[in-house]
Each structure stands twice: as structure tokens, then as C-alpha cells.
Amino acid sequence: MGYRQSSVVIDKNRGGAYGEVVSQIRKTGPISFEEFMDIALYSGNGYYSKPASFGVYGDYYTSPSLHPFFGYLFAIQIMNIWEYMDRPNPFTIVEIGAGDGTLAIDIVSTIRAANIDFSNCLQYIPIDRATSRGCVTGAEIVSADLLDLYISDSTSCVVLSNELIDALPVDIFEVRDGRTKVVVIDVDKQGNLKEELIETTIDEFYDLDISSLEGYRGPLCRDLGQWIPTVLDLVPKAFFINIDYGYEESDYLSMGKSNRLLQTYYRHVDNLSPLLRVGDQDITAHVNFTALRRAFAHRGINSIGNITQREWLFGLGYSDVIEDLRLSEGLSRREISLIDRLVEVEGLGGFRVEISQRGIDGAEISKLNNLTNLSRYFSAVPPVTDKHMAFHLNR
């Protein structure tokens, strides 16, 4: 999702991935919305196959693309975790959904500048479905199915993602006459994509009373427990940090959120039909964090907390570092104003940070925020590059 900008007028067309959707329908008959979304986002002509789909030149920006300050504080969190785990060597970071590598570069640059001991034992593995997007300090972005080649000796790791879960393909379901139905996508005689509803039993709702949800329409992500590669189950001690936007299930499955949890964006215009501009517009779904924790628990991954991005960054010393850099004239006022978007309650600061662990008893978020030596890392904020919005402030 990220943060979207001002609206423009657009022309309607079918989009670059339209042909792949129609081809699949003609092979197999109507397809699930989940399959449609997968093609629209991740096929050869899908939205995320385009290098400018996000970041400075794309439809939206994320926290890492604002300023390297975000990657700097993320690196502080990871260094705190490494020290909390008694400095294991080797130590692996796996970033899932690394995109163009901006966050990875900023994290690794911070660690190399701040802590040579940690840098010497660090292995950073950026994963993305589009492996051709770039490299991170000499390490190519890799496909998840190759991960086992990199972590065979790992006993401790951090697994992280930023705005990945909202882009997982979802089904769309409705409640009508007390029964659940799912959306499938078909094509009419004129070649237009259309929705149809098929009644079905949804296993995820077996223990839920949906009688109060008459008329509800919303997304259902069936991949919440599978997007983390199974080979990571072999790493005995791991922390998981996942940042995204969404709600707890009590809010998620409420009539107030009906028809509001799936979003589309095309050139900063939102709420177009997902059946338009197929492959040329983004499609995202808010995260059901309660369901995410259930899925994680089935894999032995247990939550230690869910806080806002604002709370998380302030807990890592956000205000102290900003003040130090301001006094040292290391940041301009315009840069500070840009960085402050990271903690705006109604914007990126309202995103949720889900922190979980496996094999580490007694872990608490407060124990992972050791600020006693933070001052020695102030000089390690990575330089702004042309991948950051801050680079373009005065251009």
C-alpha cells in the first residue's frame, strides 16, 4: 500500500496482464479471485514485474523509500536482537519481499558502519519473486526456492518483511442469507472480465458466528502461514518482524469494514474496479493480524507483541537520533519533515509491527530496545541515494 499521492485523470483499458487472465480462464474455466490477483500482480506482465511500480518513480512510496533513516533504525533493532541472543556467529537476516533492495542496502550499510563485530558474522539474504530487480552489497536478490543453499548452517536468524503481507493474493467472500460465497472471475462474450459468486464452505470460519455479517464482503488470505519459506523452520532460534497495515479480527470481520479492505491504485487513483487495468494497477488487502498469529502459531512462531510503527520507532530512539542530527546540522528541515512521515499516526506511523519468535523463551519487545549505546551509532545513518525521496527534495 504505502502512501499514495494526488489524483490524475485516467483512460480505461484492459491492462497488460489482461491476456494472461483470459487465457487461463479459457483453459480452466472461471478462476478464483486469488488466482486472478496472482496473475495481475506477479505474472510476466503483472504489476510488480514493472521496475517503477513503487518507490520514487512509482505509484506509491514505502517507509524505506522515504529516507535511509528507516533502514537505520531497523538495523538498530536487529543489532539489539543480535546482542539479546548473545551475539551468535554466524547470524542470518532473511528479508522476504526485498523489492529493489533499498531497505536491505540501508540495513547492511548501517551495520557495517556501526558494529564491525556484527558485520563480520552477518549474512543478509534478500528474497523476492522478481529476482532481476537488483543486488544488495554484492549479493543478488534470490528466489525463495534457493534459500536452503544459503542457510544450511544457520542456527539464529531474523526474518523481516515490510508491506509484503498486504500484497499476498486473496479470495473475496460475501455473506448472503447466512451463507458464505466466494468470487470467481469469468469473461463475457465481449471479452470483459466479470464476477460471479459461488457458494462454498470456508474452513477458516468454522469456529466463527457469521450470522451478524449479513451483506459483508471482504478479503480472505489463505496464504498467511505459507509465505515464509518452510526451510526457515529448520533454524532453531528466530525472530520475525513484519510491518504492514490492517486490523485485529474483531474489527476486520465487522460491517464497518465491509467493502473497505481491498484496495486498488493506478497512478495515485484509488478504488478502481480490480477488473480494470489488469497488471497496470496495484491490488492490496488489509492484513487480519489475528489470523496471521494463528497461522504463525501452527508453525511454532509465537507473537511477543503488535505495536504501531510510531511506537516501534520511538522505542528504538527515533526522537533522540533526530535531535542529535538536527543539532549537528546533519539533516535539513525538509529532510526532517519528510522523515516525520514515518511516525504520522494517520499515515505510515499507524502501520502495525508484528514481532514474533521461535525458540526464544521470555522475549519481550522492551528487552529488544537497548538504547544505552545508541549514541555511538548516530554517525551510521546511511547516505541518501537516488532511490530515496529525500534525494529529490532539492532537485
List the helix and strand counts (H, then E) for the chain.
11, 20
State the burial class of residue 168 (Cβ atoms within 10 Å of its Cβ: 0-12, 13-18, 19+): buried
> What pLDDT score was predicted for residue 203?
86
Between 42-46, 51-55, 86-90, 239-243, the lowest mean confidence (pLDDT) is in 51-55
* Percent of the chain surpassing pLDDT 90: 65
Q: How many residues does the chain have?
A: 395
> What pLDDT score was predicted for residue 50?
78
Most confident of 122-131, 162-171, 223-232: 162-171
| Cα-based distances in Å from 362 to 253, 306, 356 | 32, 16, 12
Here the cell at position 306 is: 503488535
d(CA 92, CA 143): 16
d(CA 47, CA 280): 5
Q: Which of 352, 339, 343, 364 is nearest to 106 (CA)?
A: 339
**What predicted TM-score, i.e. pTM, was given to this entire model?**
0.91
φ/ψ of 285, rounded to 5, equals -135, 135
> What pLDDT score was predicted for residue 290?
96
- Mean pLDDT over 200-227 rounds to 88
Here the cell at position 64 is: 524505506
Between 185-194, 268-277, 285-294, the lowest mean confidence (pLDDT) is in 268-277
**90: cis peptide before it, omega within 30°?**
yes
Amino acid at residue number 115: N
> What pLDDT score was predicted for residue 141?
80
Amino acid at residue number 332: S
Here the cell at position 385 is: 541515494
Q: How confident is the model at residue 268 (pLDDT cuts 50, 70, 90)?
A: low
d(CA 209, CA 216): 13
Higher pLDDT, 314 or 369: 314
pLDDT digits (tens, 9 = 90+) for 48-106: 887 665 555 566 789 999 999 999 999 999 999 999 999 999 999 999 999 889 999 99
State the burial class of residue 211 (Cβ atoms within 10 Å of its Cβ: 0-12, 13-18, 19+): exposed
Q: Is the dihedral of CA 97, 101, 105, 108 positive or negative?
A: positive
- Mean pLDDT over 362-369 rounds to 90
> What pLDDT score was predicted for residue 8?
36
Q: How confident is the model at residue 144 (pLDDT cuts 50, 70, 90)?
A: confident
d(CA 126, CA 166): 19
Return the CATH class of domain 53-169+221-245+286-392: alpha beta
HSE toward the beta carbon, residue 226, CA cutoff 13 A: 7
| Cα-based distances in Å from 194 to 25, 45, 62 | 11, 20, 32
Q: Are β-strands 193-199 and 179-187 bridged in parallel, bridged antiparallel, or unpaired?
A: antiparallel
> What pLDDT score was predicted for residue 130?
67
d(CA 225, CA 295): 5
For 310, the enclosing helix (H) or strand (E) is helix 309-315
> Over 90: is that where the pLDDT of 180 sits?
yes
Which residues are paired to 185 by β-bridges? 31, 195
Here the cell at position 71 is: 533502514
d(CA 369, CA 5): 33
- Mean pLDDT over 356-362 rounds to 94
Cα 360 from chain centroid (whole Å): 24
> What pLDDT score was predicted for residue 6?
38
Amino acid at residue number 1: M
pLDDT digits (tens, 9 = 90+) for 2-13: 655 433 333 457
Q: How many CB atoms lie within 10 A of CB 300?
A: 11
Q: Please say whether the beta carbons of 113 and 382 come within 8 A.
A: yes
Higher pLDDT, 9 or 281: 281
Here the cell at position 140 is: 543478488
Task: Tell me the residue ranges of DSSP E strands in the chain.
Answer: 3-4, 31-32, 60-61, 91-96, 122-127, 135-136, 139-140, 156-162, 171-176, 179-187, 193-199, 217-220, 237-244, 246-247, 262-266, 269-270, 282-285, 287-288, 302-308, 352-358
